[in-house]
DNA sequence: TGAATAGTGTCTTTCAGACAATATGCC
DNA sequence: GGCATATTGTCTGAAAGACACTATTCA
């Protein structure tokens, strides 16, 4: 195939930004890293990096995630590509943003590894953030809020086994409002996506709860 | 601000691909251009081009659209970014795909300009296509089918004034099935998005129909 | 036995879907 | 007057939403 008529020219860089969410202490939290150099030194930004010639965009995302922690079973979805001219003062940079959801339980493993430079922030109490990352974060939160209503995105925020109360808490946290327990259970169970494990867990000095799991494992995109 | 520590390196190119849809003759159609050089010479591809340093990604999309025809009032939405390694044999190319919807009426203006290299194809009868464009097209059609159900995306496929029958036809064409006229009208009018113009149009030797317009003009993203 | 969460059913309202006859303008 | 599309309402079933009490375990 004749490909000799292609003339190289100056062109934009491409980065990936990875927005990793979890629910901790009843709040939706995002993982941010502190920048240790200019531009935007000492502000918080998403984990991310330049896409190399030798890797696909999605592989770049996975590389970033692995470099931060060996998280397994996470839900990963492309969010949007941000292509304005002056996003980065160093160079023309187009960023492909992804978001990932991890369960609270994975955060514990996370903390055990020495992720000194990264911290979890409630999306309601954000620090100063670099670049256009606050705008990107808002876009992601809107997407998650919207999509949880008609998808099984919540699975990404829960451990493999969970109670209906835990599931309800995930919805309530993301939607920012209380839900009726009976209606919630009725609907969830009627969707046929959950499978009872006939196994109970005791989470305090009260009646133990039945554990469930999601039937569909397709939801795990990045294992 | 110190930006001197940035070291240039070889990095992927970025293109935009623009999927322009319309409804003609009761079919969803896509505008494709014939490639006149390798790779994929003589196959059909989306209008597109490389993103330059001096323009935002969205400006690149608008540039492409303008170069093809002076279409006004089109609905424009980012579709997805495709970042696999071997998409283009000439170079490493990441493509940000957008889709646009234009009304049948705009297609007439279009044809008047000499767009020799571009042709409209029914998405059900596609020619041989280059790169990964068939996959991208499928992705777009799925998005449109899905989104028309819960958004006012149909506005992009209609002229400013239209009848309820025309609106229904748009839905039927995209969804690929007949809809009940009474239920369709009941629902559309109950949504409160339409405004009657108290103006009738005669479209044949039968009773003329009332014209409507969309109340919300925010839907026009690119004017 | 008290505290705390788990678990359950009915009624009402709303929305989706099936279904057919009359109205109007043009030729 | 005949034709072709425009316009309109009711009934039924399904799903969403409001609402409160009993069950179970542990300290």
A178 touches strand C (CB under 7 A): no
Q: Count how many pairs of residues, chain A against chain B, have C-beta atoms within 8 Å.
A: 97
How many Cβ atoms sit within 10 Å of the Cβ of residue B120?
A: 18
Segment B96-116 mean pLDDT = 80
How many Cβ atoms sit within 10 Å of the Cβ of residue A142?
A: 10
d(CA A18, CA A90) in angstroms, rounded, equals 20
Banded pLDDT at A113 (limits 50, 70, 90): low
Of the candidates A122, A137, A126, A156, which has an alpha carbon nearest to the alpha carbon of residue A48?
A137
Nearest to A90 among B6, B56, B78 (CB): B6
State how beta strands A13-24 and A93-101 pair.
Answer: parallel
B117 in catalytic set: yes
Q: Which residue is nearest to nucleotide C5 (CA to C1')?
A: A206
In our burial notation (b when 16+ CB lie closer than 10 A, e otherwise), range A17-46 reads bbbbbbbeeeebbbbbbebeebebeebbbb
- Protein contacts on strand C: list nucleotides below 7 Å from a Cβ: 2-10, 16-20, 23-27
CB-based contact B3 A53, cutoff 8 Å: no
Q: Which residue is nearest to nucleotide C27 (CA to C1')?
A: B205
Residue labelled with tokens 């050089």:
B37
Q: Which residue has the higher pLDDT, B38 or A145?
A: A145
Q: What pLDDT shows up at residue A220?
A: 45
Banded pLDDT at A111 (limits 50, 70, 90): low
d(CA B120, CA B99) in angstroms, rounded, equals 15
Q: Write the pLDDT tens digit of every residue in B1-25.
A: 455 678 999 999 999 999 999 999 9
Q: What pLDDT shows up at residue A164?
A: 98
Evaluate whether A62 touches A56 at the Cβ level (below 8 Å). no
pLDDT higher than 70, residue B114: no
Q: What pLDDT shows up at residue A114?
A: 55
Q: What pLDDT shows up at residue A221?
A: 47
Nearest to B11 among A6, A39, A53 (CB): A53
Which two three-digit tokens encode residue B97? 């795909």
Q: How far is CA A191 from the centre of its chain?
A: 24
- Exposed, middle or buried by CB within 10 Å (0-12, 13-18, 19+), for A115? middle
* 3-state helix vs strand vs coil in chain B, percent to 5: 30, 30, 40
Within 13 Å and on the Cβ side, how many CA atoms surround A212? 20
Residue A69: φ, ψ to 5°: -175, 155
Segment B39-45 mean pLDDT = 96
pLDDT higher than 80, residue A146: yes
Whole-angstrom CA distances from B64 to A94, A145, B47, B108, B182 are 18, 34, 7, 19, 41
Q: What pLDDT shows up at residue A216?
A: 79
Segment B168-175 mean pLDDT = 97
Q: Which residue has the higher pLDDT, A15 or A66?
A: A15
pLDDT higher than 50, residue B71: yes
Whole-angstrom CA distances from B94 to A93, B49, B60, B122 are 13, 11, 14, 27
Interacting residues of A125 by C-beta distance below 8 A, sequence separation 6+: none
Min Cα–Cα distance to chain A from B205, Å: 45
Q: Which residue has the higher pLDDT, A116 or A221?
A: A116
Q: What pLDDT shows up at residue B189?
A: 96
């Amino acid at each position: 195939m004749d490909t000799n008529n292609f003339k190289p020219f100056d062109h934009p860089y491409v980065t990936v930004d990875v927005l990793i969410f979890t629910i901790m202490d009843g709040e939706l939290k995002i993982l941010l890293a502190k920048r240790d150099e200019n531009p935007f030194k000492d502000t918080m930004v998403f984990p991310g990096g330049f896409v190399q010639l030798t890797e696909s965009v999605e592989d770049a995302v996975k590389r970033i995630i692995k470099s931060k922690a060996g998280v397994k079973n996470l839900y990963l979805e492309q969010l949007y590509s941000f292509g304005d001219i002056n996003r980065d003062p160093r160079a023309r940079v187009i960023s492909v943003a992804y978001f990932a959801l991890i369960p609270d339980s994975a955060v514990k493993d996370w903390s055990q590894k020495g992720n000194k430079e990264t911290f979890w922030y409630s999306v309601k109490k954000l620090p100063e953030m670099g670049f256009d990352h606050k705008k990107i974060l808002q876009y992601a939160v809107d997407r998650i809020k919207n999509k949880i209503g008609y998808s099984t995105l919540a699975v990404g925020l829960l451990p493999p086994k969970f109670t209906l109360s835990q599931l309800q808490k995930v919805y309530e946290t993301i939607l920012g409002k209380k839900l009726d327990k009976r209606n919630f259970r009725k609907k969830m169970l009627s969707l046929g996506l959950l499978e009872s494990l006939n196994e109970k867990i005791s989470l305090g000095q009260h009646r133990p709860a039945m554990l469930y799991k999601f039937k569909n494992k397709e939801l795990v995109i990045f294992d």
